[in-house]
Copies of this chain bind each other. A is one copy, B any other.
Amino acid sequence: MSGDDAPAQQQNAEETKQENKPSEEPKAESKPESPPVSSTEAAATPATEKVPEEEQFTYRSLVLSGYGGYDKVKLQVKKGKPALKAGEVMVRVKACGLNFADLLARQGLYDRLPSPPVTPGMECSGEIEAVGEEVTDRKVGDKVLVLNRCGLWQEVAVVPATHTFLIPEGMTFEEAAALPVNYITAYMMLFDFGNLRPNQSILIHSAAGGVGIAATQLCQTVKDVTVFGTASASKHETISQGGVTHCIDYRTRDYVEEVRKISPKGLDIVLDPLGGSDTHKAYNLLKPMGKLITYGAANMLAGQKKNLLAVAKTWYHQFSIHTLSLIQNNKSVCGFHLGYLDGEVEVILQAMTTILDLYRQGKIKPRIDSTYHLEQVGDAMRRMQERNNIGKVILITEPMPEEEKKEEKKEDKKKEDKKKDDKKKDDSKKEDKKEEKKEEPKNEEKNEVKKEEKKEEPKKEEK
């Protein structure tokens, strides 16, 4: 696991600077929605001896303290047992999923996350620890996965019972945390907007990402679907085994040309998480009756912090379509984002039920790329943002063993000077792209995949 930037253990110093509250000391949070009940299992530091039980209750929580780089997500300890409202349950969280929206949110580019300080996290899994009034279909001890607007990257989460789904027999907590966002997104896009049917063809960008893997698996449930998938070359073997028919290395090839070579008439569906000029390409790749389903603007993300140039460029090139063109081309353009589907409990329940059935039938299985402790959230985010993952990046709430912590600290110390340099660079507001190039040497101790991709990165960013 890479860790040259902002692992949570290093936060104390920074936090002191910003808030004068070291992260390892319990903080009494007064937010009405977030806090929880009673357990000592995971509290990092003991509360004072004679306070009431409710106040002894502490739990670790990741908090976005302000918009910016990886170090803006800090591990804090919250104190106090939350009162459950009617219809709510309290979940002892075991694992959390990372999503692209979390990366955008950290940079202030995702309007569904309330303003900082706030706990991010749209999905997790765990056990129900308490149920509020009027909750009839959940009980203490139930293993559930949770989908929520935010607030799930912490050891204890309080959510409406309707946002929880029972975990099927045999599913690990990591798998469960990897399921909701990616699979519901892929499912709704393919089978609601996309209306995917046998013999059709589809382009899946970032086929090695969470949604990409989920979409590829779901495509296998329909007969004879041809899947074009983009990913860097090092990931091709894995995604090919996962069901991608034609793997395209978008870093060295023009994916439009590659698709046209094989499917001159174009495609039935394009899933577009990129935005900007890639949406135009997607539209042009559609055959008549084709569906473009756009579900993100990953092109806006170019570097650790908000890159105004990338945002402006993506926005400037953002696709806008006139209905008369749609008519003359017999095409469909759809937008999807689960984060904006809050109120649609029925829709989500239906999709989730089908997805869990498919899991039980062995037709889908989340692919876990890597697992990080809460303390390592910076590394986890970096892995995703730098597109080094194949499948899902997971956070686990289990505290980091002391040996590991020591080891990381040693490494951190070694890198501290470099880190300070980085900070200076950050402050001087150079373009993130350039920064990353300079940081490259530091990544040498990382795994091979990462190295390979870093070298190609400038290509990607030019796209």
Residues of A bordering B, CB below 8 Å: 188, 192-193, 195, 275, 279, 288-289, 291, 294-297, 315, 318-337, 340-341, 343-344, 347
User: Which residues in B have their C-beta under 8 angstroms from that of A321?
Assistant: 320-321, 323, 333
This chain's copy number in the assembly: 2
A274 to chain B, nearest CB (A): 11
User: Which residues in B have their C-beta under 8 angstroms from that of A288?
Assistant: 340-341, 343-344, 347
Residue of B nearest to A283 (CB): B323
Residue of B nearest to A342 (CB): B288
User: Which residues in B have their C-beta under 8 angstroms from that of A329?
Assistant: 335, 340
A272 to chain B, nearest CB (A): 8
Contact between B320 and A297, CB atoms less than 8 A apart: no
The complex places the Cα of A325 from the Cα of B334 at a distance, in Å, of 10
Residue of B nearest to A334 (CB): B332
Q: Given the interface contacts A188-B289, A321-B321, A333-B332, does A294 sit within 8 Å of B327 by beta carbon?
A: yes
Contact between B332 and A332, CB atoms less than 8 A apart: yes
The complex places the Cα of A335 from the Cα of B333 at a distance, in Å, of 9
User: Which residues in B have their C-beta under 8 angstroms from that of A325?
Assistant: 335
User: Which residues in B have their C-beta under 8 angstroms from that of A334?
Assistant: 291, 326, 331-333
Contact between B295 and A332, CB atoms less than 8 A apart: no
Contact between B340 and A335, CB atoms less than 8 A apart: no
Which of B319, B323, B332, B341 is in CB contact (< 8 Å) with A319? Answer: B323
Contact between B319 and A322, CB atoms less than 8 A apart: yes
Residue of B nearest to A335 (CB): B326
Contact between B324 and A297, CB atoms less than 8 A apart: yes
User: Which residues in B have their C-beta under 8 angstroms from that of A318?
Assistant: 322-324
Contact between B289 and A192, CB atoms less than 8 A apart: yes
A345 to chain B, nearest CB (A): 11
Residue of B nearest to A328 (CB): B340
User: Which residues in B have their C-beta under 8 angstroms from that of A315?
Assistant: 324
Which of B295, B323, B326, B327 is in CB contact (< 8 Å) with A327? Answer: B295
Contact between B320 and A322, CB atoms less than 8 A apart: yes
Contact between B333 and A328, CB atoms less than 8 A apart: no
Contact between A323 and B320, CB atoms less than 8 A apart: yes
Contact between B294 and A344, CB atoms less than 8 A apart: no
The complex places the Cα of A198 from the Cα of B381 at a distance, in Å, of 41
The complex places the Cα of A46 from the Cα of B171 at a distance, in Å, of 83
User: Which residues in B have their C-beta under 8 angstroms from that of A295?
Assistant: 327
15 A-B pairs with C-beta separation under 8 A: A192-B195, A193-B195, A193-B291, A288-B340, A294-B323, A318-B323, A318-B324, A320-B322, A320-B323, A321-B323, A326-B333, A327-B335, A331-B334, A331-B335, A332-B335
The complex places the Cα of A240 from the Cα of B328 at a distance, in Å, of 32
The complex places the Cα of A291 from the Cα of B195 at a distance, in Å, of 12
Residue of B nearest to A112 (CB): B328
Contact between B335 and A289, CB atoms less than 8 A apart: no
